[in-house]
Amino acid sequence: MALKTKEQYLSSLRELGHRVFIQGEKVASVPDHPISRPPAMAMAETYQQAEQEDMKPLFTAQSHLTGETINRFTHIQHNIEDLVKKILMLREMGRKTACCFQRCAGLDCMNSVYAITYDLDQEYGTRYHDRFVDFMKYIQSNDYLPAACMTDSKGDRSLPPSKQEDPDQYVHIVAEKKGGIVVRGAKMHTTGGVNSHEIIVMPTRALQEEDKDYAVAFAVPANTEGVTFIYGRQPSDTRRLEQNRSDTGNLYYGGCESMVVFDDVFVPEERIFMKGEYPFAGRLVELFAAHHRASYGGCKVGVGDVLIGAATAIAEAHGTDKSAHIKDKIAEMIHLNETLHAGALASAGKGYRTPSGAYAVDHLMANVCKLNITRFPFDISRLAQDIAGGLLVTMPSLDDQDNPEIGPYVKKYLVGKSGVDSEKRVRILRLIENITLGTGAVSYLTESIHGAGSPQAQKIMITRLADIESAKSCAYKLCGL
């Protein structure tokens, strides 16, 4: 089976049996819990789109490993077209779900580990790449979904892993056993971890020789003994527990993050992709960061499309859509959103072939794209809230409309222009609220700052990658020095 259907994916998630806790309680079925269901459905949409005839060119690809038609979210990119199609696919998913659909981190992780394991083998004579190729064939043939586990809990951030008071603040090897290793620690902010069949673990930073036990990359099934997922809270997430879910804004989808704890987890040898080769930890981090920072110019732009659409719709509902200042704000939102997309496409268009044969995005353009992502979605959100007006945060619940005592008041006073009833107005405003303030804001705003590295990380890479000396040379020549 090279392609799973949406229902097959959801069934496989129900049968997974991994340890997941939400608000202190163990969850029996992630897709059926009211808080975790919307993120599971967002992930399921990546399978649904691959089934649609008009979307197959974007959401499927031919595997260079098996020759089968596979979901593009499991594809190792092998040319510029692959890099571009990934960005276009992510934007389409953002438009379909208006949230973090959680699958691009795993995709970027797979492409990064594929390339770096090849380099590792060339340097050390290891067999990591062959192991990872076998893993990829397994993922592609079953259309499984791996989550990327990268960010450690870090403890005292002024100290390297080996100097921490508690050595478990970074995932590390605690023992070697016959046929594998034992690891301990925790990974934070794991996007879509509870919705994934597998988890791929990578280092989170460059390492030195004394940190070599922390230079470890591996994959284990999500239901492996000793692995526990602790679900992250989001603003207004308990609205999903209400009988009438209309006040969630986004009725169908959502994103999710989790802490993943590794409590003396055994990793078999065939699933180990780095073990102590500390000079390559930083290289793996940088390659993943470039891939993932470019991805944000796809997914966040798709969510931006929805927010621009909602802002336009509420302006029409208010009767302000013809006003010059509203037109100007919509134009500014579009300009900012398309600028983000342009950066991602530029990083893909300037992509390069790695020694493994896999393609990577241009690192400088990817970091420029992501640094813009840390800013522009906030400006787009500010403009959307400006257009929406104060009712965005003061309106009654839709349930109030059904109350015989107060419902007539709500329906009377919350109407928009002629032909726009109160329910239509409230539903549009709730969606804007969701994206800019509620559960959707985690995916769109907070993740825009900290996902794939916080702004300072991009500034460091931009300064490192920019050809300043060449620019100085041009300046000296032109002024006669």
Catalytic residue list:
100, 104, 191, 257, 292, 296, 299, 447
Could you please report the per-residue DSSP string of 66-102?
A: T-SEEEGGGPPP-SHHHHHHHHHHHHHHHHHHSS--S
N-term to C-term CA, the chain: 66
- Residue 70's Cα: distance from chain center in Å? 20
Distances (CA, A) of 298 to 88, 91, 226, 397, 461: 6, 4, 35, 33, 21
Q: How many CB atoms within 10 Å of residue 182?
A: 15
CA-to-CA distance for 85 and 359, rounded, in angstroms?
13
- How many C-beta neighbours within 10 Å does residue 467 have? 10
CA distance 114 to 112: 5
151: number of Cβ within 10 Å:
18
- How many residues appear in the chain? 481
Closest C-alpha among 79, 10, 71 to residue 38? 10
For residue 334, how far is the Cα from the chain centroid?
22
